Amino acid sequence: MRTLWLLALLLAELSALAAWGQAPGRRRPRRRLAPVPPNVEVIRDVEFGTGGGRPLRLDIARPKELPPEPMPVIVYVHGGAWRAGSYHGAQNYPLAAQGYFTVNVEYRLSQEAIFPAQIEDCKAAIRWLRANAEKYHLDTNHIGVWGHSAGGHLAALLGTSGDVKELEGMGGNPGLSTKVHAVVDCFGPTEMLHMSAVPGRMDHDSPSSPESRLIGGPIQDNPDKVKRADPLTYIDADDPPFLVIHGERDQTVPINQSEFLVTALKKAEVDVTFVRVKNADHGFSGPAEPSRQEINRLIEEFFNRHLRPTG
């Protein structure tokens, strides 16, 4: 049964990741999701804060039977070039089935608000989790974050910019920490000024590129704005462990983005594991080695290693 859930999850992931190259537009209607595992409860559209004067929401997936000890938390940030995609996703279902309290978070898309709106909204979700730890039986000393593509960028930025004041925003529950304790970045941009250094299917320096739309202008004309959005800017020795996964043949977000991140994390002596996926394009499409099932297993093992309290 668990294999069937993983396969359904992978199909949902690939559907969301296809949004990177699409023209900007309204948020997609809710798509049909993978089946919910029988031991998992899903609570949809929980308001966690505000962004730009409007409510922000998240979906919860958690075990139906709560464990005696507070649950570690995993946050998923969706992809879609910061301009598409939805927080209504099944990515966390297998992790919730393993005893995690999981959420998929909404953030403002780039056609609604430019950076730093996106990271401010994600940080508001982390503060909300801490503010509601007792209500939901949470262990907020063990929070993991992950995402694919644009979501990988925001997950990495959460990991490197914990409690950076200029990125906190005013989305709710001020004064609480936004630090997290484990990060999985799947092929997210990290050093945007060098994305076009590797040939691919997109001109990232174009005024209409996802990266330019994110910061509100052509990236090469706005290096200070780009630096503010790059996860590399904030790396230091206090950052949490990272698992970075990238397809070697990614023609949308070049693998140099993960290489830059891994090199900088190692230089700061941060615990980082880098998985290069052979034969894989964006979204791990193609004859990926390791397979997508193996990649999901690596992610689960990483979170188990760093978020399960010991002793």
Region 213-218 average pLDDT: 98
Evaluate whether 295 touches 284 at the Cβ level (below 8 Å).
Answer: yes
- Domain segments of the chain as ranges: 2-307
Question: Does position 24 have pLDDT exceeding 50, yes or no?
Answer: no
Q: CA dist 67 to 41, 86, 94, Å?
A: 14, 29, 16
Start-to-end Cα distance in the chain: 32
Superfamily of domain 2-307: Alpha/Beta hydrolase fold, catalytic domain (3.40.50.1820)
Predicted confidence at residue 34, as pLDDT, reads 83
Question: Does position 9 have pLDDT exceeding 70, yes or no?
Answer: no
Task: Quick: pLDDT tens for 226-280.
Answer: 999 999 999 999 999 999 999 999 999 999 999 999 999 999 999 999 999 999 9
Evaluate whether 76 touches 96 at the Cβ level (below 8 Å).
Answer: no
Predicted confidence at residue 163, as pLDDT, reads 86
Structure tokens at 158: 């959460």
For the chain, percent of residues with pLDDT exceeding 90 = 86
Region 41-62 average pLDDT: 98
Question: Does position 203 have pLDDT exceeding 90, yes or no?
Answer: yes
Region 281-302 average pLDDT: 95
Query: Distance (Å, rounded) from C-alpha 262 to C-alpha 271?
Result: 10
Determine whether 65 is exposed, middle or buried from the number of CB atoms within 10 Å of its CB (0-12, 13-18, 19+).
Answer: exposed
User: Taking all residues of the chain, what is their mean pLDDT, rounded to a whole number?
Assistant: 92
